[in-house]
């Protein structure tokens, strides 16, 4: 393909003309040739690091994407951004930086792509916050771009994964497994590269981003170490050069309808509640009106069809083996639950991409038929009431029941709650209240995988509920409600609860309430004092000053 008169809407402003000789001089030193200055420049945003299995292979995928771009007569320039491992930082102070990293990733990709004048880019993410961070940057920049998912990990021994280890900690505390058995689970759960292997946040968001139209078909349903994933990266590099030629941008792809598609697929897959935060944040970046109420509206008509971990039986690798998510998308499209006219990065509509997709094998048990769902409506339920007047997010799979009434056991922070669980201090009917873990109060809205897994490991998941202004890992299951707003640090009702208060959660009525009158809540509010800020300087302090409510996606850019 000739380089003459190729579209270079941004890079031409950086490298064309005599006055840009200094810029060209710098670029010669990093490998540019005279001919390269006539080509569209393609940034390759890599989240590679050896911090975590999710991202340890992404340098190879970035190389493949760069090759694809250059073989399509673009000029690829690879750069890195950060990652924070949820699985490693979980239950520690470091987890405060996890959701913060989403903003840092989006900011850093925006900064490099805009600062260097790339005409388009490929963003490759593996761990939970990489993916929405990449998508947010794509929406903000509105330049031709494609997201590549780093791929899922293979199951460990006896089909174990990282949640197996967290739950083994609870089993060990309950005395049902020995030190040696815990060590064996620890040593065999993570066999290599890739993101956590259930329908946890990584696989949930990869699937959502694909149906949004920002990834190539099947990008979300490939193992990390596979020829398919290398080819997906290569094709993304080729395709982004074509998108530059066609001037197809995220604003041509993202719409209210495409976000409704993403919510629909997340529900059908029984995906992570983190999708609420992340889809709200991506929509905010794209200037598309999306609210938490859209999840209830869509959830009333969309069934849960996937029997996937954590609440179900199967891993992402097993779903990949029967065809991935594309046959499910076609089922939902045929049922009238997806908008098929939405444009995608292929240059075709969603319906056109799905036209030749074959159905699942007849004997598979992972994806249920529409006539026999896991749950007839959504597992993600937005609750309101005097305990969460601005909303809360419940993950109700049906296994736990639809209603819970119990007695408050209040804890200031995750560590105190986890200690009580592991010390056997909970009893049937307790509602564990973990507060001051919201976006501002945490700060950073830590995930509660350690306490929820400990509850499950101790055998209490059917008799104890947990509510928090923090959030949950995609690996959490049980009767859990998060994202309670206003958060405790802002004086929300969750800050005013006392041990012994009666709390009622009703997923059918979509309510969460504490048995206190408005007058009693007002009296307690008058006596309440906020705790000191966790940090006064640095990233966490800056985040706490800027971040919006969880019900608005916990974004930091206004």
Catalytic residues: 473
d(CA 379, CA 476): 13
Closest residue by Cα to residue 434 from 481, 382, 364, 375: 481
SS3 546: helix
d(CA 338, CA 488): 37
Backbone angles phi, psi at 516, to 5 degrees: -135, 145
List the structure tokens of 199. Answer: 């329908």
SS3 390: strand
d(CA 119, CA 75): 10
d(CA 506, CA 402): 6
d(CA 493, CA 410): 13
d(CA 549, CA 543): 12
Helix (H) or strand (E) holding 403: strand 403-412
Q: What is the DSSP letter of 154?
A: P
Look at the block and give the residue holding tokens 């949820």: 86
Closest residue by Cα to residue 330 from 348, 364, 300, 353: 353
SS3 189: coil
d(CA 192, CA 194): 7
d(CA 98, CA 12): 37
d(CA 248, CA 230): 24
Helix (H) or strand (E) holding 502: strand 502-506
- Residue 423: is the preceding peptide bond cis (ω within 30°)? no
Question: 78: alpha, beta or left, given left = phi > 0 and alpha = psi -120 to 50?
Answer: beta
d(CA 173, CA 175): 5
Long-range contacts of 518-523 (CB under 8 A, 24+ apart): 518/386, 521/386, 521/493, 521/496
């Amino acid at each position: 393909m000739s380089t003459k008169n190729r579209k270079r809407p941004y890079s031409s402003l950086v490298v064309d003309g005599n006055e840009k000789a200094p810029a060209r001089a710098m670029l010669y030193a990093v490998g540019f040739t005279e001919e390269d200055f006539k080509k569209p420049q393609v940034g390759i945003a890599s989240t590679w690091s050896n911090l975590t299995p999710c991202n340890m292979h992404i340098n190879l995928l970035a190389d493949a994407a760069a090759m694809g771009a250059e073989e399509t007569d673009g000029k690829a320039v690879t750069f890195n951004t950060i990652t924070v491992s949820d699985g490693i930082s979980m239950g520690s102070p470091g987890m405060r930086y996890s959701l913060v990293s989403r903003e840092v990733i989006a900011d850093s990709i925006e900064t490099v792509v805009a600062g260097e004048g790339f005409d388009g880019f490929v963003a490759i993410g593996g761990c939970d916050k990489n993916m929405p961070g990449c998508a947010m940057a794509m929406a903000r920049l509105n330049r031709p771009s494609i997201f590549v998912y780093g791929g899922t990990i293979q199951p460990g021994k006896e089909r174990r994964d990282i949640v197996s280890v967290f739950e083994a900690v609870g089993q060990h505390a309950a005395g049902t497994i020995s030190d040696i058995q815990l060590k064996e689970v620890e040593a065999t759960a993570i066999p290599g590269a890739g993101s956590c292997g259930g329908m946890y946040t990584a696989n949930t968001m990869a699937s959502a981003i694909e149906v949004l139209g920002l990834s190539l078909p099947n990008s979300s349903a490939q193992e990390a170490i596979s020829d398919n994933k290398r080819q997906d990266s290569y094709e993304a590099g080729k395709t982004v050069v074509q998108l530059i030629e066609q001037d197809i941008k995220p604003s041509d792809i993202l719409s209210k309808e495409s976000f409704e598609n993403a919510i629909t697929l997340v529900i059908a897959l029984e995906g992570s509640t983190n999708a609420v935060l992340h889809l709200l944040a991506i929509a905010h970046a794209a200037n598309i009106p999306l609210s938490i109420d859209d999840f209830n509206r869509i959830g009333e008509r969309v069934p849960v069809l996937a029997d996937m971990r954590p609440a179900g039986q199967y891993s992402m690798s097993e779903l990949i083996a029967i065809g991935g998510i594309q046959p499910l998308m076609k089922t939902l499209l045929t049922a009238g639950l997806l908008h098929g006219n939405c444009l995608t990065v292929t240059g075709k509509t969603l319906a056109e991409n799905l036209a030749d997709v074959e159905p699942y094998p007849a004997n598979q048990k992972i994806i249920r038929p529409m006539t026999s769902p896991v749950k007839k409506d959504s597992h993600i339920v937005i609750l309101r009431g005097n305990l969460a007047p601005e909303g809360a997010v419940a993950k109700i799979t049906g296994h736990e029941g639809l209603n819970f009434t119990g007695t408050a056991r209040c804890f200031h922070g995750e560590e105190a709650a986890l200690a009580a669980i592991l010390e056997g201090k909970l009893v049937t009917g307790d509602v564990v209240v973990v507060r001051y873990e919201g976006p501002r109060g945490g700060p950073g809205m830590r995930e509660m995988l350690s306490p929820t897994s400990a509850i499950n490991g101790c055998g209490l998941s059917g008799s104890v509920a947990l509510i928090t202004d923090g959030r949950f890992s995609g690996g959490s299951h049980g009767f859990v409600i998060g994202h309670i707003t206003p958060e405790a640090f802002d004086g929300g009702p969750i800050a005013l609860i006392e041990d012994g208060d009666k709390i009622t959660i009703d997923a059918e009525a979509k309510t969460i309430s504490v048995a206190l009158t408005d007058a009693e809540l007002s009296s307690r509010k008058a006596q309440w004092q906020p705790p000191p800020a966790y940090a006064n300087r640095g990233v966490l302090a800056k985040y706490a000053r800027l971040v919006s409510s969880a019900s608005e996606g916990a974004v930091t850019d206004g």
